[in-house]
Amino acid sequence: MMKLLLISNSTNAGEAYLSFPRQNIKNFVGTAKNIVFIPFAAVTFSYDAYEEKVNESLEKVGLQVKGIHRFEDPKEAIKNADAVITGGGNTFRLVQMLHHYKLIKPLRKKIKKGMPYVGWSAGSNIACPTLKTTNDMPIVEPKSFETLNLVPFQINPHYLDANPDGHAGETREQRIQEFMAVNPDTYVAGLREGTMLKMEDGKIGLIGNRTCRIFKQGLATFEISEGETCDFLLDTHA
């Protein structure tokens, strides 16, 4: 069965990079040694720098990753990986590169066979059927919006309730309502910062001290907390 750890964000305000989820990541990947890191969401800094930044944090819990850009054959790297971690950044760029290297199908196949997958922000977005609920600007045009389609629902990372003073535009909730109006059969999980969804043994649950806001056309918006069942999100007949 699939093992997914889908994290809203890498860093909470005032904390060191990856400090809040790194122990969860360590516990999740277990004894995995060959951990491939996908840095393709990086835009304003290099893949090498991204890999280094992740390793500087994860080495504190005994983990080390190797960027997929260092492999001569990226598909072979996925085939031989014990676990895959995908970092945040720009989701459109990430998806463009995954399609460019033809990694969507190999990744999906390996994860569906039980390889642990960890993603934060854009890396969580790509576990969904499409990238349509990302917050990012479309700075590039991917071959398609198709992503890994590991779960049947969509995630909106960094979900915010705030409507800043002086802001007359749409709130995050209104943007998600627009998505639901044209995708009425799909749940959307508004994943607040400092939280993550963990899927294992065919079940999925929330980790973190903040609630997750759930949207679906025809249902009143509601919240789920850590410890409550989230398995309804996996219902493909919803």
Active-site residue list? 121, 136, 158
Structure tokens at 72: 């001569």
Rounded distance, CA 3 to CA 199, Å?
Answer: 6
Rounded distance, CA 121 to CA 112, Å?
Answer: 21
> Cα-Cα-Cα-Cα dihedral of 138, 122, 15, 170, to 10°?
50
Q: What is the phi/psi pair of residue 215, to 5°?
A: -120, 140
Structure tokens at 40: 């393709």
Number of H helices, E strands in the chain: 7, 11
Q: Residues of 120-145 as b/e, b for ≥16 C-beta within 10 angstroms?
A: bbbbbbbbbbbbbbbebeeeeebeee
Rounded distance, CA 30 to CA 220, Å?
Answer: 38
DSSP string, 207-223: ESSS-EEEE-TTS--EE
Asked if 57 and 16 count as a contact pair (C-beta separation under 8 A), the reply is: yes
